[in-house]
Amino acid sequence: NAGVTQTPKFQVLKTGQSMTLQCAQDMNHNSMYWYRQDPGMGLRLIYYSASEGTTDKGEVPNGYNVSRLNKREFSLRLESAAPSQTSVYFCASSEYFAGGPYEQYFGPGTRLTVT
């Protein structure tokens, strides 16, 4: 199993450009997540999808949109990139049960620079 995969690994954008980060998991997990990681800030949740067909905002959703394409895939879109969105983006997935999310499995990350 590949686990959680992300594309691309690296990306440089100019301010105002758009792009979509792709994420896929092969563990048949219901829930998927997008985080950004910035120095000294830890991981901050951007959006999550508790199950196929649902998406919800996390702590820092502004400037982003998501699509849960199917159970396997969860994409993150930057419509008009800004320098403040320079970050490392991680996708994660987990099983979900009535008591809450089980442990999350993370992808390798996408390092995005916006100039």
Partner 1 sequence: AQSVSQHNHHVILSEAASLELGCNYSYGGTVNLFWYVQYPGQHLQLLLKYFSGDPLVKGIKGFEAEFIKSKFSFNLRKPSVQWSDTAEYFCAVKNQAGTALIFGKGTTLSVSS
- Residues at the site binding partner 1, with contacts judged by CB under 8 A: 33, 35, 40-45, 48, 50, 56, 58, 90, 92, 99-101, 103-109
Taking the C-alpha atoms of residue 8 and residue 109, their distance in angstroms, rounded to an integer, is: 9
Distances (CA, A) of 96 to 10, 51, 72, 105, 111: 30, 8, 15, 12, 28
* Closest distance of CB 97 from partner 1, Å: 9
* Closest distance of CB 19 from partner 1, Å: 20
Nearer to partner 1, 69 or 88 (CB): 88
Half-sphere exposure of 30 (CA within 13 A, CB side): 10
Nearer to partner 1, 56 or 79 (CB): 56
* Closest distance of CB 14 from partner 1, Å: 26
* Closest distance of CB 86 from partner 1, Å: 18
Taking the C-alpha atoms of residue 8 and residue 74, their distance in angstroms, rounded to an integer, is: 14
Q: Which residue has the tokens 């450009």?
A: 17
State which amino acid sits at residue 76. L
Nearer to partner 1, 81 or 109 (CB): 109
Nearer to partner 1, 17 or 61 (CB): 61
